[in-house]
């Protein structure tokens, strides 16, 4: 009987360490030098996520599915320069009370390592405005858009 209880407890611990291991694996899939652009989507549209590496290699997912791409050296360099200038991202100034459409208003944030910005689509200063312009240019270069919910698929969960 004691053997069975011990075995069940041991199996439970193995399961916990596997879950923790899986979580760490998911976190390890996005290196600290990769910036993640997250657009929330809206009541009527699907958001997107763009993972930008310092080499310009990108992975992205939107309502049309997931894909890979490569940004120009110039756009990549400008984006990471503007992120560096804006650090710490959590202190980036955004407009309070930024008016957005109830049906089509979205929020866009940038995450890099442990830093995360507020909504850069409501820039409160030149640093935030530059990042918003960079994100618009990146999305345009990749043809990433907010797909209407009736025409696309929901994004897979972000596991980190």
Q: What is the mean pLDDT of each run of 10 residues along the chain (160 residues)?
A: 40 35 44 92 91 96 92 98 96 82 82 93 93 97 91 75
Burial class (CB in 10 A: 0-12, 13-18, 19+), 131: buried
Phi-psi region at 143: left, alpha or beta (left = phi > 0; alpha = psi -120 to 50):
left
Helix 73-86 and helix 126-142: axis angle, to 10°?
150
Q: Which two tokens stand for residue 90?
A: 């959590």
Alpha carbon distance 20, 14 (integer Å): 10
pLDDT confidence of residue 1: 45
Alpha carbon distance 132, 66 (integer Å): 22
pLDDT confidence of residue 103: 66
Alpha carbon distance 144, 125 (integer Å): 25
Backbone angles phi, psi at 92, to 5 degrees: -60, 135
pLDDT confidence of residue 8: 40
């Amino acid at each position: 009987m004691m053997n069975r209880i011990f075995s069940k407890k041991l199996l439970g611990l193995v399961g916990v360490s596997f879950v923790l291991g899986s979580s760490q694996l998911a976190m390890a899939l996005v290196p600290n030098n990769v910036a993640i652009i997250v657009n929330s989507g809206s009541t009527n549209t699907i958001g997107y996520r763009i993972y930008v590496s310092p080499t310009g290699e990108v992975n992205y997912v939107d309502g049309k599915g997931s894909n890979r791409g490569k940004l120009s050296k110039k756009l990549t360099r400008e984006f990471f320069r503007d992120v560096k200038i804006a650090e710490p991202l959590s202190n980036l100034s955004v407009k309070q009370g930024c008016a957005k459409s109830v049906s089509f208003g979205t929020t866009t944030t940038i995450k890099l390592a442990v830093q995360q910005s507020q909504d850069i689509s409501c820039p409160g200063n030149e640093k935030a405005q530059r990042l918003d312009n960079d994100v618009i240019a990146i999305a345009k270069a990749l043809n990433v858009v907010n797909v209407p919910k009736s025409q696309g698929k929901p994004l897979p969960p972000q596991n980190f």
